[in-house]
């Protein structure tokens, strides 16, 4: 194949768009990944189709090329991420990073992201150094299956490949359009296959196509390129489905049309194959692999907000690191004349075992590699305990999860019966009550929010309870009690119901962990809350009035900044959303007068 210099330009457009997106500067920049998918399908198919046509396709050679191209840099990046995580991350984040290292090494981070972070656009993902390897997972899963099609239908049988690819492409596209789960359609190969295979069909069906009217072909090419850029850089479309489909179609159109013009049209060459653009395109894989790692650790350890100046500085750092790995890792491993296959496999195998093994071990100990006094986590106290794919017994969520044991009926203890209804935030409420000075006088019971409209035992507990507290971070609207009564055919007594306020401890604990010193004043140390926290707090205040327990009133100031630590220097939350034991104890002390007034000590006392 003749080297397509304009494809370097497309790669440059794609990677710059993704980088700008992760800097928060380009809302549609994530579509650069879709451009990469189409390019990959086009180039891979261009090679293997013609090899199969001549009966020369080797599946072993194919996998060797893919290993050389992708795996060395991937393993290097996951290794660097793990080392930086050991230095800068708190245990919960380090545990999550370790999961991502293992998943990325096994080409499955797209699956892990679906399970743990379904919303790709969520703020939390900005702090995940390996979040972006989800796309590599899809490409590598594609590479695992795709070559067998050409291996089985090589030689004269190659004529069947077009029809099979068309059918598979249509099936994938229909599945993408019909899938209502946005996260599934975003992360799973079956819904992304059509983007790669459309690139492949473009390579097969238009191999020898020539545009006879040269001038009109140029206009078509420039129009396709302009529209591709416009969709990524301007908010002209709202639907993600429309954005993905159009970007896919336009990109394959540029690849097909540009084949005739990339070495003939000087204007097209100036745009898509000038030295700067080609260089960015050449190092685009390194740029893609480094940028999120750099941005995430900068946010975790050094800066709370990436300003324009920081965006420039971090982009330059990404560029320098990318140049280093392009010449130091990508090129040597990619070239058989520089590095023999045996050497490549030995290096890759060793790196895989070391990074995967180390990450898995760190995951099993919950990321607690040393003492973290700020979280009351001490390595010696861990003992032989392991996290092996644990759910409710996970070290970092067990304090919250153990409240589920209280999901049962009341007994006749003579204590004030308090029913907490909610989800994990409701379990925070229960922990505040259990840590309060009133705990010995309360019989606290919990009911899982997901069952409130279907499990009739709620009616019995609600009627038996002396007090009912709702806690689900803003889920409960004005009509909640009415809906509850309709679902279970009873009148929900509003006079004994309160709502526990929303809380929000900022974006990441990492920045605080890495910046506190012996001189830090924990009584005044604050961080900026996420925008929706104060907004939702105001809405709940208006909805529930004097039935609302306003947590932010005592923890936050008028500037939207909230306390992070207890006065003793302990984190109030391990994940910026749910309470630690220290956090629950502190809030219980802080709101003791309010809780005493609401709950009282005598179950016969009517709430005021």
Give residues with Cβ within 8 angstroms of 326, minimum separation 6: 282, 283, 285, 286
Q: What is the pLDDT of residues 260-289, one digit of tens each?
A: 888 888 999 999 999 999 999 999 999 999
pLDDT recorded at residue 532: 80
The predicted pLDDT at position 305 comes to 85
Q: Which pLDDT score is estimated for 12? A: 97
Count the Cβ atoms, other than its own, within 10 Å of residue 402. Answer: 15
Sheet holding 497-500, edge to edge: 442-448, 416-422, 467-471, 497-500, 548-549
Output the DSSP codes for 53-98: HTT---HHHHHHHHHHHHHHHHHHHHHHHHHHHHHH--HHHHHHHH
**Taking the mean position of all CA atoms in its chain, how far away is CA 29?**
16
In this prediction, residue 390 carries a pLDDT of 60
Residue 472: closest CA among 446, 449, 494, 497: 449
Contacts of residue 79, defined as CB under 8 A and 6 or more positions apart, other chains included, come to 351, 354, 355
- CA torsion 511-517-519-520 (nearest 10°) is 20
Q: What is the pLDDT of residue 603?
A: 47
Which of 333-337, 534-538, 560-564, 602-606 is least confident?
Answer: 602-606
Residue pLDDT, tens place only, 47-60: 999 888 888 888 99
The confidence band for 602, taking pLDDT boundaries of 50, 70 and 90, is low
In contact, 334 and 48? CB cutoff 8 Å: no
Among 84-93, 305-314, 528-537, the minimum mean pLDDT is found in 528-537
Question: How many angstroms from the chain centroid is the CA of residue 254?
Answer: 30
Percent of the chain predicted with pLDDT > 90: 74
Mean pLDDT (whole number) for 126-151: 93
Check residue 580 and give left, alpha or beta (phi > 0: left; psi -120 to 50: alpha).
Answer: beta
102: Cα separation from own chain's centroid: 15
Q: Please tell me the distance from the alpha carbon of residue 526 to that of residue 514, in angstroms, as a whole number.
A: 14
| Spatial separation of the C-alpha atoms in residues 111 and 117, rounded to whole Å | 10
Is residue 607 pLDDT above 60, yes or no? no
Domains of the chain and CATH, by start: 5-361 (no CATH), 398-599 (3.40.50)
Give CA–CA dist 22/20, Å, rounded.
5
Section 403-414 average pLDDT:
92
What band does 409 get if pLDDT is binned at 50, 70 and 90? very high
Please check whether residue 62 is in contact with residue 48, taking contact to mean a CB–CB distance below 8 angstroms.
yes
As a whole number, mean pLDDT of residues 350-361 equals: 97
What does the radius of gyration of the chain's CA atoms come to, in whole angstroms?
28
Beta-strand runs (E) in 59-198: none
What does each C-alpha distance from 219 to 224, 441, 539, 582 come to in angstroms?
A: 9, 80, 53, 66
Instruction: Report which secondary-structure segment, H or E, holds 249.
Output: helix 240-261
Q: State residue 388's pLDDT score.
A: 66
| Residue 1: band (very low, low, confident or very high) from pLDDT cuts 50, 70, 90 | low
Residue 200 has pLDDT above 90, yes or no: yes
Strands 497-500 and 442-448: unpaired
pLDDT of residue 213: 86
For tokens 């302009």, the residue is 226
pLDDT tens for residues 378-402? Answer: 988 877 777 766 666 788 888 999 9
Q: Are 222 and 10 in contact (CB under 8 A)?
A: no
Strands 526-528, 416-422: parallel, antiparallel or unpaired by DSSP?
Answer: unpaired
Q: What is the pLDDT of residue 406?
A: 95
User: How does residue 605 score in pLDDT terms, banded at 50, 70 and 90?
Assistant: low
> For 182-257, where are the E strands, in sequence order?
none
Percent of the chain having pLDDT more than 70? 96
Give the Cα-Cα-Cα angle 119, 88, 122 (nearest 5 degrees).
Answer: 10
Mean pLDDT of 227-251: 94
Q: Give the whole-angstrom CA distance, residue 384 versus residue 295.
A: 35
Mean model confidence pLDDT for the chain: 91
3-state SS assignment for residue 497: strand
Most confident by average pLDDT, 118-132, 171-185, 591-605 = 171-185
Nearest Cα to Cα of residue 298 among 100, 141, 507, 453: 507
Q: DSSP secondary-structure letter at 377?
A: B
Mean pLDDT on 534-558:
90
Q: 474 is written with which tokens?
A: 């803003």
Q: Which residues contact 359 (CB under 8 A, 6 or more apart)?
A: 78, 82, 97, 98, 99, 101, 102, 105
Q: Which residues, other chains included, contact 349 with Cβ-Cβ below 8 Å and sequence gap of 6+?
A: none
* Residue of 494, 560, 566 whose CA lies nearest to 528: 560
**Which helix H or strand E contains 275, and what residues bound it?**
helix 275-282
Burial class (CB in 10 A: 0-12, 13-18, 19+), 61: middle
Position 550 confidence tier, pLDDT thresholds 50, 70, 90: very high
Please identify which residue in the block is written with the tokens 């050679």. 61
Whole-number Å distance between alpha carbons of 290 and 75: 12
Neighbours of 151 (CB within 10 A): 14
Structure tokens at 137: 């997972």
Show Cβ contacts of residue 142 under 8 Å, excluding neighbours closer than 6 positions.
40, 41, 189, 193, 196
Q: 124 forms bridges with which residues in the sheet?
A: none
Query: Taking a C-beta distance cutoff of 8 angstroms, is the pair 420, 445 a contact?
Result: yes
Q: Which pLDDT score is estimated for 124? A: 77
Q: Which of 605, 509, 582, 531 is nearest to 127 (CA)?
A: 509
């Amino acid at each position: 194949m003749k080297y397509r210099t304009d494809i370097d330009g497309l790669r440059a457009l794609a990677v710059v768009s993704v980088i700008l997106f992760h800097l928060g500067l380009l809302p549609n920049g994530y579509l650069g990944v879709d451009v990469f998918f189409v390019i990959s399908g086009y180039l891979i198919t261009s090679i293997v189709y013609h090899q199969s046509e001549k009966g020369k396709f080797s599946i072993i050679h194919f996998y060797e090329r893919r290993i050389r191209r992708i795996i060395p840099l991937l393993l290097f990046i996951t290794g660097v991420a793990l080392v930086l995580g050991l230095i800068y991350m708190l245990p919960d984040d380090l545990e999550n990073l370790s999961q991502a290292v293992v998943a990325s090494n096994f080409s499955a981070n797209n699956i892990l992201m679906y399970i743990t972070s379904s919303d790709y656009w969520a703020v939390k993902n900005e702090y995940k150094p390996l979040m972006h390897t989800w796309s590599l997972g899809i490409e590598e899963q594609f590479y695992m299956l795709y070559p067998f099609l050409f291996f089985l239908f090589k030689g004269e049988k190659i004529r069947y490949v077009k029809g099979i690819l068309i059918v598979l492409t249509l099936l994938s596209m229909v599945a993408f359009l019909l899938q209502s789960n946005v996260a599934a359609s975003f992360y799973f190969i079956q819904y992304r296959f059509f983007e790669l295979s459309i690139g492949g069909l473009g390579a097969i069906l238009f191999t020898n196509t020539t545009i006879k009217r040269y001038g009109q072909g140029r206009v078509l090419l420039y129009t396709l390129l302009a529209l591709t850029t416009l969709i990524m850089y301007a908010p002209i479309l709202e639907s993600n489905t429309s954005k993905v489909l159009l970007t896919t179609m336009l990109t394959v159109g540029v690849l097909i049309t540009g084949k005739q013009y990339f070495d003939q049209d000087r204007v097209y060459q100036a745009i898509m194959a000038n030295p700067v653009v080609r260089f960015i395109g050449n190092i685009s894989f390194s740029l893609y692999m480094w940028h999120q790692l750099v941005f995430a650790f900068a946010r975790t350890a050094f800066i709370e907000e990436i300003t324009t100046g920081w965006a420039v500085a971090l982009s330059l750092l990404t560029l320098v690191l990318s140049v280093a790995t392009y010449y130091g890792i990508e090129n040597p491993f990619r070239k058989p004349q520089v590095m023999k296959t045996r050497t490549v496999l030995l290096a890759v195998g060793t790196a895989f075992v070391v990074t995967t093994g180390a990450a898995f071990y760190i995951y099993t100990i919950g990321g607690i590699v040393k003492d973290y006094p700020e979280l009351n986590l001490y390595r010696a106290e861990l003992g032989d305990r392991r996290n092996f794919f644990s759910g409710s017994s996970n070290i970092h969520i067990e304090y919250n999860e153990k409240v589920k044991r209280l999901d049962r009926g009341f007994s006749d203890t003579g204590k004030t019966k308090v029913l907490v209804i909610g989800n994990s935030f409701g379990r925070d409420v229960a922990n505040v009550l259990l840590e309060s000075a009133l705990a010995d006088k309360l019989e606290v019971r919990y009911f899982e929010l997901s069952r409130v409209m279907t499990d009739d035992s709620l009616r019995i507990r609600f009627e038996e309870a002396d007090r009912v507290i709702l806690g689900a971070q803003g889920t409960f609207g004005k009509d909640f009690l009415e809906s509850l009564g309709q679902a279970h055919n009873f009148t929900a007594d509003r006079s004994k119901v309160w709502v526990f306020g929303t809380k929000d401890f900022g974006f990441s604990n990492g920045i605080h962990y890495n910046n506190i010193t012996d001189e830090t004043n924990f009584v005044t140390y604050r961080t900026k809350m996420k925008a929706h926290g104060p907004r939702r707090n105001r809405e709940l205040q208006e909805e529930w009035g004097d039935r609302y327990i306003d947590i932010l009133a005592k923890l936050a100031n008028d500037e939207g900044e909230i306390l992070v630590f207890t006065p003793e220097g302990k984190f109030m939350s391990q994940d910026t959303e749910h309470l630690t034991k220290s956090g629950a104890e502190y809030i219980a002390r802080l709101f003791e007068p309010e809780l005493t007034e609401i709950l009282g000590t005598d179950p016969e006392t009517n709430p005021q």
